[in-house]
Amino acid sequence: MATTAPAVPDVKDNRAKLFERAMSRHGYAADALIEVLHTAQELFGFLSMERLREVARKLKLPPSRVLGVATFYNFFSLRPKAEHTALVCTGTACYVAGSRGLLDAAQHRCQQAIARGQPEKLGVQQARCIGSCGLAPVVVLDGRILPKVSVGALEQTLDEVGA
């Protein structure tokens, strides 16, 4: 990555404007890097290499530093999101309540989708603990919490949303 990379030519896109405004609100300060990456991911769904280069240029940071931060934190994704995302909580309470089985089931389905040639169908992620231990085990499907979920119930819900 070179700091002289050309500007990302998506100025007509409204999101780009919003993104610019977010950076400007932080005064293009280097210490706002994580906040800026949060905003970028929120707006664009993931952090593309072009986006990271843009951030590096605007915040006057070495691209290595931006990539280093983006890859350090679990929250940031450098790949586009799948159509559906199943976030399996693997915190201790969920673990003792059987989250491993849920994770296996979700990953199995993900593999099946890949085998069918639809790798963009379902993304499976793990959460370290979403703090809803009273509802363990928990899966968050597309932002919706499935409380006290069994493997069967998870399979059924995945069927329902077509994942």
Nearest to 26 by CA among 51, 58, 49: 58
The dihedral formed by the CA atoms of 128, 134, 135 and 139, expressed in degrees to the nearest 10: 0
Nearer to other proteins among residue 13 and residue 42 (C-beta): 42
Nearer to other proteins among residue 45 and residue 131 (C-beta): 131
Longest dimension (CA), the chain: 53
Residues in 105-144 that interact with other proteins by CB under 8 A: 127-136, 138
Count of residues that interact with other proteins, criterion CB under 8 A = 37
Residue 120 backbone phi and psi in degrees, to 5: -90, 0
Nearer to other proteins among residue 127 and residue 153 (C-beta): 127
Please report whether residue 24 would count as binding other proteins according to CB under 8 A. no
Nearest to 150 by CA among 139, 161, 140: 139
Q: Which of 16, 32, 78, 151 binds other proteins (CB under 8 A)?
A: 32
Positions of E strands within 10-109 = 84-89
Q: Which of 27, 45, 62, 68 binds other proteins (CB under 8 A)?
A: 68
Task: Using CB under 8 A, list all residues that contact other proteins.
Answer: 29-35, 37-38, 65, 68-69, 72-76, 90-93, 95-97, 127-136, 138, 145, 147
